[in-house]
Structure 1
Amino acid sequence: MQSNNNTPLQRAKFRARQMRVEQSKIGNQLSHGQALELVAKELGYRDWNTAAALLSNYPDISVQVGDHVRGTYLKQPFTGRVLSVTEQGGGAYFRVTLDLDEAVDVVTFDSFSAFRKRINAQIDIKGDSPAKTSDGEPHLSILGHVHG
């Protein structure tokens, strides 16, 4: 995830500015506050104040092609290499492809298994997929880089 804006909070503010420009081009005038509220909703927060408070506490994971990352996929821990990163939604989301070091079993039934070694998913600026399991956990969470 590359951006001219360094932190998740700065990227969200940048997205709000982009949204105002996009909307003005089609004749819709948004105040900066309205755009911030829309960005907060786009990112899954109740309102801008909540988004700003929480985004300011998130580390910037900044994944790039070739990075070795760690995280969870369908609650299974993994490490793997980033094969591709594509910006979506003006930097609010990213489409990533990961090649896992070891395949993970994505089925929780004892009598059946389904292993995945390559993952394609959308993540937000925190590294979490907007898609959630039935108990509310992100399908994919990139937690950071593997060091060493």
Structure 2
Amino acid sequence: MTQTTGGTPVPSIDALKAQAKRLRGAMAEKQTPITQSLALETIARQWGYRDWNTLSAMSKSNAPRGWFVGQRVSGTYLGHAFEGTLKAVRSANAGFWYVTVIFDTPVDVVTSDAFSSYRRQVNVTLNEDGTTPAKTSDGQPHMVLRSAE
């Protein structure tokens, strides 16, 4: 289950460190420089945690199966094998994840011989096994996603 603070999911470690870096920059502009350690501790308190270690652990526990923006992935989409890159990853409720996949080669999403419709990018909801709860008429998940590495 996703840990939250006031209903807001805890961001990734990288996002939290970027917040701390922006805080340091803002403080330096005001002629009140602070250390990276103090910035991290301050960010933790802003998120409602007692210290950076606690916030960091909470952020790691929310990591979606190790998926991250820019990660190489492979799998099937509407029965077609693909390779691609994750453009976006964020947590949803009850262990589900929203991901945006950019395909290396566009995927034809139409089964008709009369015409084609290619998708270069799709947004899907995945369960903890990396499959979509939505299924095609023959019972297959719309997408099965795996790390390509």
TM, length-normalised to structure 2? 0.56
Matched ranges for 1:11-50 at <5 A: 14=1
Could you tell me how far apart the structure 1 residues matched to 2:128 and 2:97 are? 8
Q: Report the count of equivalent residues.
A: 90
* Aligned-residue offset at 1:83: 0.6
Please point out which of 138, 145, 148 is paired with 2:147.
145
Please point out which of 90, 104, 127 is paired with 1:86.
90
Partner of 1:34: none
Q: Is 1:107–2:107 an aligned residue pair? A: no
* Aligned-residue offset at 1:81: 0.4
Amino acid at match of 1:77: A
Amino acid at match of 1:112: F
Once the two structures are superposed, what CA deviation does each residue of 1:60-81 show, in whole Å capped at 9, x if it has no partner? 9532111000011101110000
After superposition, the CA RMSD in angstroms is 2.0
Once the two structures are superposed, what CA deviation does each residue of 1:91-147 show, in whole Å capped at 9, x if it has no partner? x100000111000101111111000010101000000001100011010110x2223
Structure 1 unaligned runs (5+)? 1-13, 19-59
TM, length-normalised to structure 1? 0.56
Partner of 2:66: 62
Of the two structures, which has the highest relative contact order with CA contacts closer than 8 Å and spacing of 6 or more?
1
**SS of match in other structure, 2:98:** strand
Could you tell me how far apart the structure 2 residues matched to 1:62 and 1:125 are? 11
Identity of aligned residues (%): 38
Could you tell me how far apart the structure 1 residues matched to 2:104 and 2:87 are? 12
Partner of 2:58: none
Structure 2 unaligned runs (5+)? 4-63
Could you tell me how far apart the structure 2 residues matched to 1:61 and 1:70 are? 15
Once the two structures are superposed, what CA deviation does each residue of 1:28-76 show, in whole Å capped at 9, x if it has no partner? xxxxxxxxxxxxxxxxxxxxxxxxxxxxxxxx95321110000111011
